[in-house]
Structure 1
Amino acid sequence: MTAVTPGGGAPAPEDLAILLLDGGYERAHYALVLAVSGLALGRSVVLFAAGGGVQALARDWRGLRDAGQDAQMAARGVATFETLRDAVVELDCDLLACEAGLRLCGLRHEALLASVRVAGVPTFLDAARGRQVITL
């Protein structure tokens, strides 16, 4: 089964697959920056949060390590975590949370944003086929 872009075809090489492995605020924030930027440029984006990175897709994302940095970002005029997450959802990013990562973090599916699908590594690998892969 080949992953499909929102337009219905196979992914183009410029489409993105972002693998967020880390549960730290800075990497999660930048994963969202990359996703929003790709989506704004018309690229299809899949964001797979694994390990501690699943905290980024939880409704309450303050479980991220150093989440308090968000106030500093806002004070300096940088897009906040909420702003970026809202944009990713609005722009139809394919959001995947690793089932094992949820268990690792003690989170249930209900704790995630409504648009997040729980999936395993094989689903991500299938979705990433033919895309540029970025790991954070």
Structure 2
Amino acid sequence: MPVEDFRPVDASPAGGLAILLLDGGYERAHYAFVLAAGALAVDRPVVLFAAGQGVHALARDWNGLREAGRDAGVQASGVAGFDTLRAAVRELDGVLLACESGLRIAGLPADALLSGVRVAGIPTFLDAARGRQIISL
């Protein structure tokens, strides 16, 4: 699967957020999207890069996340569920990148990803993260 050519993510990333999702567990993936949606809601541009098993968070069917079934309990407690958060991040123009190596590790084909997710490598993420606050989950 070819890595997409890098296109600048944001010409003015100052104040922006770069989220590195390394883990394939539901809780960390959910919180990555909580952070992304919150930052976008206050006009901070966001790049979310999912690597390793974390790429499941960017798949159309995210049930590959460990403990994905916890989402029902999260929603029952009145907290936004995973689908709601992902939709918000996409609607607010968050940039979603899936690591090419992570897709291979997870055995996930690129066509299983949400539309608009770009397949990229670490150099692309690091370039996109330049000047942004980086949070790793």
Smaller-chain TM-score bracket? over 0.9
Q: Give the match for residue 11 of structure 1.
A: 13
Aligned-partner Cα distance in 2 for 1:60–1:4: 25
Shift of residue 2 of structure 1?
A: 9.3
Given that 1:23 and 1:64 are in contact with CA atoms closer than 8 Å, whether structure 2 keeps it comes out as yes
Q: TM-score, normalised by structure 2?
A: 0.93
Provide the alpha-carbon RMSD of the alignment.
Answer: 1.3
Q: Give the match for residue 95 of structure 1.
A: 96
Q: Give the match for residue 42 of structure 1.
A: 43
Q: Give the match for residue 58 of structure 1.
A: 59
Q: Name the SS of the counterpart of 1:113 in structure 2.
A: coil
Q: Give the match for residue 121 of structure 1.
A: 122
- Structure 1, unaligned stretches of length 5 or more? none
Shift of residue 44 of structure 1?
A: 0.5
Q: TM-score, normalised by structure 1?
A: 0.94
Q: Name the SS of the counterpart of 2:98 in structure 1.
A: strand
Aligned-partner Cα distance in 2 for 1:2–1:109: 18
Q: Give the match for residue 31 of structure 2.
A: 30
Q: Which runs of 4+ in 1 moved over 4 A?
A: 1-4
Counting aligned pairs with the same residue, the percent is 69
Aligned-partner Cα distance in 2 for 1:134–1:78: 22
Matched, 1:111 2:112: yes
Shift of residue 3 of structure 1?
A: 4.3
Shift of residue 10 of structure 1?
A: 2.7
Given that 1:3 and 1:11 are in contact with CA atoms closer than 8 Å, whether structure 2 keeps it comes out as no
Q: Give the match for residue 86 of structure 1.
A: 87
1:15-40 alpha-carbon deviations (Å, 9 max, x no partner): 10000000000000000000000000
Given that 1:3 and 1:10 are in contact with CA atoms closer than 8 Å, whether structure 2 keeps it comes out as no
Q: What is the number of residues matched between the two proteins?
A: 132
Aligned-partner Cα distance in 2 for 1:115–1:4: 13
Given that 2:9 and 2:95 are in contact with CA atoms closer than 8 Å, whether structure 1 keeps it comes out as no
Q: Give the match for residue 132 of structure 2.
A: 131
Q: Name the SS of the counterpart of 1:85 in structure 2.
A: helix
